[in-house]
């Protein structure tokens, strides 16, 4: 019986004991078992001696692997915990950062509106300076831009700007009045440079009789209405060489156009000039009649005999 027989799966210690006790020579069977035990011990000792270093190294490596796995597990758990904490902080920081960004945007918008309000408050003073310099087109543009800015940004709801809106409305009327005065002054100044008002009207009346009732009176930039003969001011139709070449008149025209008050300016000028022109035309007609009567009297008088 060898050690391979002892490794069979059906080996039963109790059966071997019964077999030994029932054998013819139990002593001999026990001796065989002891001999087999000694052989197994020698084989085990031989295997242990041959593979002892490898086993020890393998055991050490296994122990180290277990330790590394344990450390890795701890590190993974710590990393998972850190990631969870980081995620929580990131959510909180993200919400805080978004709130700060929204606040910065709001503050920037508030600063922009405050700057616009500050610039709007300075507009009346700037309008006064531009009006003094007779830069009516720049003043009208500034006034319109300021009103548009107030309406566009809903600044009209600000109580502190209501007085400014009233003042801007008053400045629109003031600028319109000043531009009308400047236009009339520039118009009559042009007429005086070309001749006295009576001489200009005399020449205009004569030209009107020769060319029809709708002829241009020239120096004053005034047209006679064909329907009823009333004088009608036409800012757009004035002769460029006499009115529009003047920088002040151009500034006035651009200012009136910007303020959209050309129609009211035309009506105001017509009302102010109509009585004066009628008086001038009446005097001219009387003068022409007197001149014609004098010529007729000279023609009808008998010749003087020498």
Span 127-154, pLDDT tens digits:
888 888 888 888 888 888 888 888 877 7
Q: Tell me, what's the pLDDT at 79?
A: 93
> Which of 44-53, 55-64, 159-168 tops mean pLDDT?
55-64
* Beta strand extents in 84-214 (DSSP E only): none
Q: Convert the pLDDT of each residue in 149-200 to its tens digit.
A: 888 777 767 777 788 888 888 888 888 888 888 777 776 655 444 444 444 4
Query: With left for phi above 0 and alpha for psi between -120 and 50, is residue 130 left, alpha or beta?
Result: alpha
Give the single-character DSSP code of 235. S
Task: With cut-offs at 50, 70 and 90, classify the pLDDT of residue 206.
Answer: very low
Q: Which of 147, 157, 99 is nearest to 259 (CA)?
A: 147
Average pLDDT value for residue range 283-298: 82
168 or 230: which leads in pLDDT: 168
**Phi (first) and psi of residue 303, to 5 degrees:** -65, 145
Model pLDDT, residue 226? 37
Q: At what angle do helices 136-152 and 26-121 cross, to 10 degrees?
A: 140
pTM of the predicted model as reported, rounded to 2 decimal places: 0.45
Residue 138 · residue 130 · CB < 8 Å:
yes
Query: From CA 138, how far away is CA 254, in angstroms rounded?
Result: 9
Tokens coding 134: 């007779």
Query: 251 near 135, Cβ under 8 Å?
Result: yes
Cβ(6)–Cβ(36) below 8 Å: yes
Spell out the residues 6+ positions from residue 96 whose beta carbon is closer than 8 angstroms to its own.
none
């Amino acid at each position: 019986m060898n050690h391979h027989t002892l490794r069979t799966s059906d080996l039963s210690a109790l059966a071997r004991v019964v077999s030994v006790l029932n054998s013819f020579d139990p002593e001999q069977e026990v001796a065989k078992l002891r001999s087999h035990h000694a052989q197994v011990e020698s084989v085990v000792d031989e295997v242990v001696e041959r593979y002892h270093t490898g086993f020890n190294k393998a055991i050490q490596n296994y122990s180290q692997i277990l330790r590394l796995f344990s450390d890795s597990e701890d590190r993974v758990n710590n990393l998972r915990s850190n990631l969870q904490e980081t995620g929580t902080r990131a959510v909180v920081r993200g919400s805080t950062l978004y709130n700060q960004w929204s606040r910065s945007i709001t503050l920037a918008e508030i600063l922009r509106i405050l700057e616009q309000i500050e610039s709007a408050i300075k507009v009346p003073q700037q309008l006064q300076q531009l009006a003094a310099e007779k830069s009516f087109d720049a003043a009208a543009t500034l006034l319109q831009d300021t009103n548009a800015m107030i309406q566009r940004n809903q600044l009209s709801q600000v109580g502190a700007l209501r007085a400014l809106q009233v003042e801007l409305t008053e400045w629109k009327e003031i600028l319109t009045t000043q531009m009308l005065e400047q236009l009339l002054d520039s118009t009559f100044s042009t007429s005086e440079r070309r001749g006295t008002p009576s001489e200009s009207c005399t020449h205009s009346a004569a030209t009107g009789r020769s060319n029809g009732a709708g002829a241009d009176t020239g120096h004053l930039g005034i047209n006679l209405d064909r329907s009823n003969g009333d004088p009608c001011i036409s800012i757009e139709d004035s002769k460029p060489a006499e009115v529009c070449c003047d920088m002040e008149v151009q500034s006035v025209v651009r200012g009136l156009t910007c303020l959209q008050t050309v129609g009211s300016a035309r009506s105001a000028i017509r009302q102010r000039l109509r009585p004066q022109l009628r008086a001038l035309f009446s005097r001219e007609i009387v003068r022409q009649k007197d001149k014609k009567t004098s010529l007729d009297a000279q023609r009808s008088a008998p010749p003087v005999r020498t």
